[in-house]
């Protein structure tokens, strides 16, 4: 009996230690601070997307008029021998647009990388929650607790018409009521951890979808900016072409 009691105490101590480790790990995977940080990052991403959208509209409002002037007046200025002055006049505007476009393109890339990094962080936490969720063992835990409760009830009430498994567990092995109660308590705690981990994993998956929904807007910004970048680069390349043409023409003998 002493060896059995010692074995029971050891198993109980190991079981409680296991539960405490799981609860500590669960708290470390996702805390209230993590939730606040996630909400802040989502708000920050939404604000950055809104800011980029406003920058893009402002850039478009500047690019379109310069583009119209460039495509409609270049030949006219060439025929009137005022092309060099015309190109010099809008060169600084083109360079400014080019710099702003590149800076905005980099900012979109940084935002997209930031969102993807936040998603990777959530995926890592979801992976840590998977073992804690015990999706395949939670039902087994409940079944074992029910069997132990039935046997404990029979033992405490002195019933003899119990299942052979319960009889072997509570009579032949002389299991004590405190040991059974501790066993049930440990199982309940581990089941609670499993349920909490499963719910938290589902919540983090929803947070991941929330972040994923922001990515299409960054792609739209990228695509719209690409159109403006193409116009700016086109004007820059054509300006160099026309200036080279004017230099060659000036060097030609009369």
What are 181-222's pLDDT values in tens digits? 777 788 788 888 888 899 999 999 999 999 999 999 999 999
- Structural domain containing residue 12: 2-251
pTM: 0.75
Is 201:130 a contact under the CB 8 Å cutoff? yes
What is each CA distance from 1 to 85, 87, 176, 237, in whole angstroms?
A: 106, 101, 11, 94
Contacts of 139 (CB under 8 A, 6+ apart): none
Query: Does the pLDDT of residue 4 top 50, yes or no?
Result: no
* Closest CA relative to residue 28, chosen from 138, 124, 116, 114: 124
Number of structural domains (the chain) is: 1
Return the pLDDT at 167: 56
Contacts of 147 (CB under 8 A, 6+ apart): 165, 166, 169
Q: What would the 3-class secondary structure string for 83-95 be? A: HHHHHHHHHHHHH
Instruction: Provide the residue count of the chain.
Output: 254
Query: Does the pLDDT of residue 8 top 60, yes or no?
Result: no
Half-sphere exposure (CA, 13 Å, Cβ side) for 18?
16
Query: Does the pLDDT of residue 115 top 60, yes or no?
Result: yes
* Closest CA relative to residue 224, chosen from 134, 127, 79, 105: 105
- Burial-class residue 16 by CB neighbours within 10 Å (0-12, 13-18, 19+): middle
Helix and strand totals (H; E) in the chain:
7, 0
Return the pLDDT at 7: 42
Listed as own residue / partner, the contacts of 174-181 with beta carbons closer than 8 Å and 24 or more positions apart are: 174/1, 174/4, 175/8, 175/151, 176/5, 176/8, 177/152, 179/8, 179/12, 180/148, 180/151, 180/152, 180/155, 181/152
Report pLDDT digits (tens) over 233-247. Answer: 999 888 888 888 888
For residues 237 and 79, give the distance between their C-alpha atoms in angstroms, rounded to a whole number.
20
């Amino acid at each position: 009996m002493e060896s059995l009691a010692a074995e029971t105490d050891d198993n109980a101590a190991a079981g409680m230690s296991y539960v405490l480790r799981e609860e500590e790990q669960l708290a470390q995977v996702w805390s209230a601070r993590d939730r606040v940080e996630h909400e802040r990052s989502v708000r920050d991403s939404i604000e950055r997307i809104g800011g980029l959208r406003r920058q893009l509209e402002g850039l478009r409002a500047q690019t379109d008029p310069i583009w119209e002037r460039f495509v409609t007046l270049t030949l006219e200025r060439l025929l009137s021998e005022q092309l060099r002055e015309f190109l010099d006049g809008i060169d600084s505007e083109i360079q400014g647009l080019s710099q702003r476009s590149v800076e905005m393109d980099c900012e979109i890339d940084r935002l997209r990388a930031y969102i993807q990094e936040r998603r990777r962080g959530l995926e890592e936490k979801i992976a840590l929650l998977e073992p804690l969720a015990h999706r395949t063992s939670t039902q087994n835990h409940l079944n074992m607790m029910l069997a132990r409760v039935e046997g404990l009830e029979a033992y405490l009430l002195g019933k003899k018409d119990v299942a052979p498994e319960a009889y072997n567990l509570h009579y032949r092995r002389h299991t004590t009521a405190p040991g059974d109660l501790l066993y049930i308590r440990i199982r309940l705690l581990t089941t609670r951890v499993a349920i909490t981990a499963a719910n938290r994993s589902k919540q983090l998956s929803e947070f991941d979808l929330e972040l994923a929904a922001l990515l299409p807007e960054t792609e739209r910004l990228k695509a719209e900016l690409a159109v403006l970048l193409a116009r700016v680069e086109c004007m820059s390349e054509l300006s160099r072409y026309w200036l080279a043409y004017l230099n060659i023409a000036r060097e030609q003998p009369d």
